[in-house]
Every structure is written in structure tokens, then in C-alpha cells.
Structure 1
Amino acid sequence: MIIKKITAITVLAATVLMAGCQTSQGLYHWGEYESGLFGYYKDPAELATLSEQLLTAIEAADGRVAPGMYAEYGTLLLQQGKKEEAIAYYRKEKDLWPESRHLMDAMINNLAGTEDTSVQRDE
């Protein structure tokens, strides 16, 4: 009898604790990005659809833009010939995620065709 009460209390406590840990939203907002990317890999003609889905996900992120999403969108813009817009999104990625600074600086410098001497290099 006591074991049944202890088991019931333990199960109830575990349920309450686990329910309290559940969140309705993930850490980042991905939108339909994953399914759009899969569609694009299957059919590269879906570039415009993927771009639209990624931009929608970025706009709906409400401050929870996932790492790499700005850079990915910038690359999609670059594939569409929109170099200046791509650079703007690479800068947004660099500003939001400082750990991407070196890669984004290299991408920006490559697109700009000039070497920015203010970029520090690790040697």
C-alpha cells in the first residue's frame, strides 16, 4: 500500500516537473525553412520558393532568428544576382552572431572586391 502511494506521488511529481519544462516555442523560429530546403535540394528551380519561405521565417522569428538564417538568405539573394542585398544580410548575420564574423567578413570582402584592412586576422 505504501509502495503504491510512493509510486503514485513519484509519477505525479515527475509529470508536473516535465510539464513545467515543456515550452510551446523552440529556441529559434524556423518556419517552413526545413521543408523548403528539402524541396530546393530535390528541385533547384524552387529557389524563389525557398527564398520566400526563408524570408517569411526570418520576419516571423520575432527576435529568435536562428544561426545562419541571415547568411543563408543572403546566399539565396546572391544566387539571384542581388549582391548588395546579400551583403546586407551577411552583415546582419555578423551582427547577430559574432562567432560568424570571420566568415561573414570574408564573404563581404569577396563580394565587395576589396580587402577591408579593419578586419583583424588571427595569426
Structure 2
Amino acid sequence: MLLNKYLTVLLAGILLGGCANNEIYYWGEYESIVRQSYVEPGVMNAQTQIERLNTDLQKAESSGKKIAPGIYAHLGTLYAAQGKYTQSRAALLQEKTLFPEASVLIDGMLSRVDKKQAN
């Protein structure tokens, strides 16, 4: 009987523990921003996206959470679209630092930013 109670409590603990939210990264509004840019292009301008992403970066930093992959790359793309090449380069390099597996992609993006800046 005692063993049954023990196993029931153990099973309940395992099941409830499996429901815990253990997100590795802080996503903030990033997913909704990307979704909206595909579903309703032009509704949210680049400056609004930049402001929201920077707010997300501040929230992640203050909560001690890791920022999700792609956020700095997206931010870099937005800065480049506004002609802010120094900020674009900094954001892209931050993405590359945090996610070295994206180096090939980021290097290509940096190359395009450098070409635009040179013109």
C-alpha cells in the first residue's frame, strides 16, 4: 500500500514536471514580428520592428535569459534597410558571436552590408 502511494506521487511528479516551461531562449515579440512581416507586409515598418526588438533585448538581458537565434540577424537586416550600416554590422556580428553555426549566412549578410556601405 505504501509502495502504491509512493509510485503514485512519483508518477504525478514526473508528469507535472514534464509540463514545466523550460524555454532555452527568450523570444519576446520576434516570432509575431516575423509572422506579421510575411502575412501583412508593410504594416509594421522597420523602425517599429527595431524598437520592439530592442525592447525584447533589454527584457532578455534584465531577466538573464539567452536571446533567441535570428533576432540580432533580423535587427541587422532592418538597420541595413534604413542605411544604418554601423549598427547593422554590430547586430550581425553579435548574431555570429552568439550562434557561430550561422557564420556562413552572417558572413554573406556582412558582405552585402559592406558593399552597400561602400556605394
With the shorter chain as reference, the TM-score category is: 0.7 to 0.9
Aligned to 1:58: 57
Contact 2:30 2:71 (8 Å CA) reproduced: no
When structure 1 is superposed on structure 2, of 35-44 and 70-79 the one drifting more is 35-44
RMSD: 2.5
Instruction: List runs of 5+ in structure 1 lacking aligned partners.
Output: 114-123
* Cα pair 1:40 1:50 within 8 Å, conserved: no
Q: How far does residue 34 in structure 1 lie from its aligned partner after superposition?
A: 2.0
Question: What is the distance in 1 between the residues matched to 2:58 and 2:22?
Answer: 16
Q: Match for residue 112 of structure 2?
A: 110
Structure 1 residue 88: deviation in Å?
0.8
Q: Is the 8 A contact 2:30 2:53 kept in 1?
A: yes
- Is the Cα–Cα contact under 8 Å of residues 32 and 54 in structure 1 kept in the other structure? yes
Matched pairs, number? 110
1:45 aligned to 2:47?
Answer: no
Letter in 1 for 2:73: A
Aligned equivalents of 2:28 and 2:22: distance in 1? 11
Q: Percent identity?
A: 31
TM-score in terms of structure 2 length = 0.74
User: More deviation in 38-47 or 89-98?
Assistant: 38-47
For structure 2, the residue ranges without an aligned partner over 5 or more in a row are none
Task: Write the distance in 2 (CA, Å) between the matches of 1:40 and 1:15.
Answer: 42
